[in-house]
Structure 1
Amino acid sequence: MSNTVSRRAKRKELLSFLFITVLLFPVLSVLAVASYGFSVWFWQIVFGPPTH
């Protein structure tokens, strides 16, 4: 019985790892970069482009 539980736990851990590394982190990275770009774009709309 413990062998079955161990296999299920390993499979669940592997699927969780794959979900995090293949889906979650890339999506969060894209959202972070997109939100930064949007905030810079909006800032420049309100206050104008940077000048020297």
Structure 2
Amino acid sequence: MIQPGGVEDPQRKTEELRSFLFLTAVMVPVLSVITVAGYGFIVWMTQLISGPPSH
């Protein structure tokens, strides 16, 4: 963010870069795996209760 003097704070820029890298390299893959695993679990439980899909 640009401060009133027109100079960016290098510490803030580093913090933003670190946050961006953490979100893209850690959180997105973790959330993707959780989402796919959750969907797989729901399908598995549904088939366990109602049986496999039939024609």
Any stretches of 5+ residues in structure 2 without a counterpart?
Answer: none
Q: Which of the numbers 26, 29, 34 marks the counterpart of 2:29?
A: 26
User: Which one has the bigger helix percentage?
Assistant: 1
TM-score (norm 1): 0.89
CA-based RMSD of the aligned residues comes to: 1.5
Unaligned regions of 5+ residues in structure 1, if any? none
Count of residues in correspondence between the two structures: 50
Kindly provide the amino acid, as one letter, of the partner of residue 50 in structure 1: P
The match for 1:36 is 39
Answer yes or no: is 1:13 the counterpart of 2:12: no
Inter-partner Cα distance in structure 1 for 2:27 and 2:9: 25
- TM-score scaled by length of structure 2: 0.85
